[in-house]
Amino acid sequence: MSTQIRNIAIIAHVDHGKTTMVDQLLRQSGTFADHEKVVDTVMDNNAIERERGITILAKNCAVSWEGTHINVIDTPGHADFGGEVERALSMVDGVVLLIDAQEGPMPQTRFVTKKALALGLKPIVVVNKVDKPGADPDKVINAAFDLFDKLGATDEQLDFPVVYASGINGWSSLEEGVPGEQWGKDMSALFNTILKHVPSHEGDASEPLQLQISAIDFSTFVGRIGVGRVNSGTVRPGMDVLVMEGPDGKQTKGRINQVLTFEGLDRVQVKEARPGDIVLINGIDEIGIGVTVTDVNDPRPLPMLKVDEPTLTMNFCVNTSPLAGREGKFVTSRQIWDRLQKELQANMALRVKETNEDGIFEVSGRGELHLTILLENMRREGYELAVSKPRVVFREIDGVLCEPIELVTADIEEGHQGGVMQALGERKGELVNMEPDGRGRVRLEYRIPARGLIGFTNEFLNLTRGSGLIANIFDGYEEHRGEIGSRKNGVLISMDDGEIFTYALGKLDDRGRMFVKAGDPVYEGMIVGIHSRDNDLVVNATRTKQLTNFRVSGKEDAIKITPPIELTLEYGVEFIEDDELVEITPKSIRLRKRHLKEHERKRASRESAV
């Protein structure tokens, strides 16, 4: 039975077409009935994933091809969700590496490939989007070979099969065809390559049970659900098992309630599952990521799963602004702490600890996106909180202070090259490679401290007029590179509580760009805009026009107001400085000073200068 199972993960850089490819595999394997209406990127079923067009959580599905059951795991492309990729790779026997035929290998391609090669997995390279104008499959294959070689691939891994494909049009081919034409009829070339090159899992069904949990799900009906691959033995409903946290960790007895496997996008109850099957089990409350579910009489635990440590940390604290509690259902420190503890159960790459101050928790993750997605989920669930500026996690190595370094790839138009290089240089970036593509664009590769990338995304979009692409990946720890300049502009701070009036906005228009509009509530210490100069300025944002009996001849000047900057969660987190906070509620994002009163801010400034 095990020879009829293949377990694969689809890995790639963000936007290289993983989820669209999985759509085609599901469609062409007959998973959906002819009359069934199916949305695009059906695997991205989370609301935020659909809004942003990215994959955040690794998802499982299964397809059948020529009598073989193929379990497919769709993984995220962002390095911030590397914990999801690492878990997914622990369940599979082969990977399909997608590379965009025009962009070639990108930073996250390097990241996911490194993880797969280290686990001894043999990749199938799929050159996707070969029908794009500017596609260069030969160049991409050579770049993939060089990348594998740099990452220490074995001779066997370097001898990878290549499939050419167009995921969106639903065809694949083993032969390179004519540009502008369709090279294959359907996805059969990819299916057959998977069957030929991905080994079936080797495990004995008569051995004691060994099942490592790689993901956690939750159902209101059955509680916690563990997802993992059966390494050896047979798992059945009603079976008594031992849950072990590694060879030397905690042991708990439990009984499995149901065993389910994947069929298409559905979960199907089965009477037993054997080696190679990816299963879902429920009935055990103590189940967690990385534990081994094993035989009671002959336990064989596996080492706990390891993921890379976080590189960025933020303080999550109770919302103490004068507008607190108006919109959120969950506002206390206990509720925020409980929510973070719940997140830890499924989010392997996250770390949470209490601080010396009441109601402030230190939350560490892989990057800004990793942490802001958690914040976005919390605000949608009804939580209110405030967060500080992200800080990098420093380490002391051999007595030397070291900081995380990121490998950055920027794909830009040649006309924007000077501005981008200057901005990265100011942030202590070091140019590693520069490669023009001969079509008016250039690719820059930099190694830069992670500190230097905080707040850089918006600046980059402005410098490239929205036409640039940028991606970054953690590249290791190096000696601290010294001070990096902070935000160039000061902020406009409200001096009073009240409501914004159009008259006040008109008077402040030449002072800078505003974050607020007429009718918005404000309070003392709230940041209402960006100052046009480098210092902070306290302003009267609630000022109204004084009405008198005097009239003047002629029309009064019409008030002209520049539209406000739209304040998003990501923008706010990138924008703030150390003495500022982002106030997050279910309906609003506001910026504020940590100390709301001006005299408190002055005192804190004097104390920090000592």
Known binding-site residues for GTP equal: 15-20, 128-131
Asked if 200 and 276 count as a contact pair (C-beta separation under 8 A), the reply is yes
| Strand spans (E) along 233-285 | 240-244, 251-255, 258-263, 266-269, 278-282
Binding residues, as ranges, are: 15-20, 128-131
Name 474's Cβ contacts closer than 8 Å, sequence gap at least 6. Answer: 79, 111, 308, 311, 366, 404, 405, 406, 407, 450
Strand pairing category for 5-12 and 68-74: parallel
Closest C-alpha to 209, from 279, 158, 139, 150: 279
CB hemisphere CA count around 449 (13 angstroms): 20
Taking the C-alpha atoms of residue 568 and residue 586, their distance in angstroms, rounded to an integer, is 12
Instruction: DSSP letter for 376, please.
Output: H
Instruction: DSSP letter for 383, please.
Output: B
Bridge partner residues of 100 (DSSP)? 128
Taking the C-alpha atoms of residue 239 and residue 281, their distance in angstroms, rounded to an integer, is 11
Taking the C-alpha atoms of residue 97 and residue 113, their distance in angstroms, rounded to an integer, is 8
Closest C-alpha to 109, from 101, 97, 127, 126: 97
Cα 53 vs. chain centroid, distance in angstroms? 12
Burial class (CB in 10 A: 0-12, 13-18, 19+), 172: buried
Bridge partner residues of 197 (DSSP)? none
3-state SS of the chain: helix, strand, coil percent to 5?
25, 30, 45
What is the sign, positive or negative, of the torsion defined by CA atoms of 265, 17, 276, 286?
negative
CA distances from 486 to 229, 389, 427, 513 (A): 48, 12, 9, 19
Closest C-alpha to 317, from 383, 391, 381: 383
Question: Which amino acid makes up residue 418?
Answer: G
Question: Count of CB atoms within 10 A of residue 113's CB?
Answer: 27
**DSSP string of 76-138, one letter each residue:** --SGGGHHHHHHHHTT-SEEEEEEETTT-S-HHHHHHHHHHHHTT--EEEEEE-TTSTT--HH
